[in-house]
Structure 1
């Protein structure tokens, strides 16, 4: 209930007024059944605007710290993320990557939409960075299609390091579903996983118009200020093998 209340009453109207969002290719998301939505990641608002414009409910994996914070702020975060149906994962253990994949597989097993950011973190400078292969392994393991999604303009509304949202035009471009059934039975092959990941990233590059950089975005985070807790978005499925 809270998911839809936030979407249509409490948050959605404000986001609509600020971003005047438009969506292209909405028909490319199947009306039913499990699908992975693989999006570029420009700002924390990506996780707000994509659910706002997609009719079906989207589930993201959220880091467990959002559910265990102290005090009133921690209690509110736990309530909020639980209310909107996000799934907590522990990123600190030795099996964190596998746990994330298992959590994603459970969401898919229930026939839901799973939102993933293949870059693993937000772009530090607006360019599109090399995708991590956890998304590919999950797609190959479950056999579901991947729908590429390009978020455009969210970084203008919600720049890294800024706590203030500013009006900016938001565009969402949704590409055609990608079927990787030709690789059936090859989950765990790191070369296949890299090929699948690169195919999705290529489509994201075409949809978003971003310049592509063949390095991981996380490798550049040492040169930019770390985001605050409020800015840090939902968890992304990490690499599970060497690339």
Structure 2
């Protein structure tokens, strides 16, 4: 299924954006790294960045069909050299760095490519947490639910990777920031802060995102799908607001 256009996303969902002020404090370009639960993700992030970032091209590490795969093929964005050149000319990248996409919207293992690119180029890496996009448009639907569901786009603090940094360490920072946003969606503002302090927020986020590590039975997987697509009436506070 082709992803909705950036213009269509504005009519299909009700986005709540947090942390965008981080981007106004820096000149750019940026390497945005996001989780990838839905076909809404790329046009949604592009839409909320309109007027803030000059140009954004999305690239997915996972092989797939649709908008991102077509963009990768047509623009020739398969090599680090091309990506580096684009950043050098002021363009920003939106990278979906998960090695594969889970069919229940869960967070999967991240490719080290985004971390390596940030180290090599010195471009700021911005973690992006997407919450509610899987609920709004799971893979078996052609259009989101008609009520313009609320979705959240949470920009974390930019990460400056120093030359010579270990890619796995930078990648851990990216995943931690995205996981914190997912933990907040499950446990709320105070719960996310407490879980982070106790070192348990990954487990809290896993109950929201649905940890995809290890073998699980079909029953457990469908329970996660059911929970992830249930209507969300939460109005909790956020840890990301200054």
TM-score norm. by structure 1 comes to 0.63
Counting only pairs closer than 5 Å after superposition, residues 82-231 of structure 1 correspond to structure 2 as 88-89=75-76, 99-166=78-145, 167-181=148-162, 184-186=163-165, 192-209=166-183, 210-211=205-206, 213=211, 215=213
Aligned pairs (5 A) from 1:41-120: 41-54=36-49, 55-56=52-53, 57-61=55-59, 88-89=75-76, 99-120=78-99
- Check conservation: 1:64, 1:89, Cα contact below 8 A: no
Say whether residues 1:19 and 2:21 are aligned partners.
no
Show the counterpart of 1:37. 32
Instruction: Answer whether contact 2:95 2:114 (CA < 8 A) is retained.
Output: yes
Gapped regions of structure 1 (runs ≥ 5): 1-6, 68-76, 91-98, 187-191, 217-222, 225-243
Residues 64 and 21 of structure 1, relative CA distance in 2, 3 Å threshold: closer
Cα 1:65/1:151, change in 2 over 3 Å: closer
Shift of 1:104: 1.7
Write the deviation string for residues 128-184 of structure 1: whole angstroms up to 9, x where unpaired. 222111111111111111111111111112102322322321111111111111xx1
In structure 1, distance between residues paired with 2:158 and 2:18: 14
Q: Which structure 2 segments of 5+ residues have no match?
A: 184-204, 215-220, 223-242
Rate the CA distance shift 1:64–1:126 in 2: closer, same or farther, 3 A: closer
**Which one scores higher on RCO, CA 8 angstroms, separation ≥ 6?**
1
Q: RMSD value over aligned CA atoms?
A: 3.3
What is the alpha-carbon distance in structure 2 between the residues aligned to residue 19 and residue 165 of structure 1?
A: 8
Q: Secondary structure at the match of 1:43?
A: coil
Count of equivalent residues: 180
Aligned-pair distance for 1:207? 1.4
CA contact (8 A) 1:59 1:107 kept: no
* Matching residue of 2:194: none
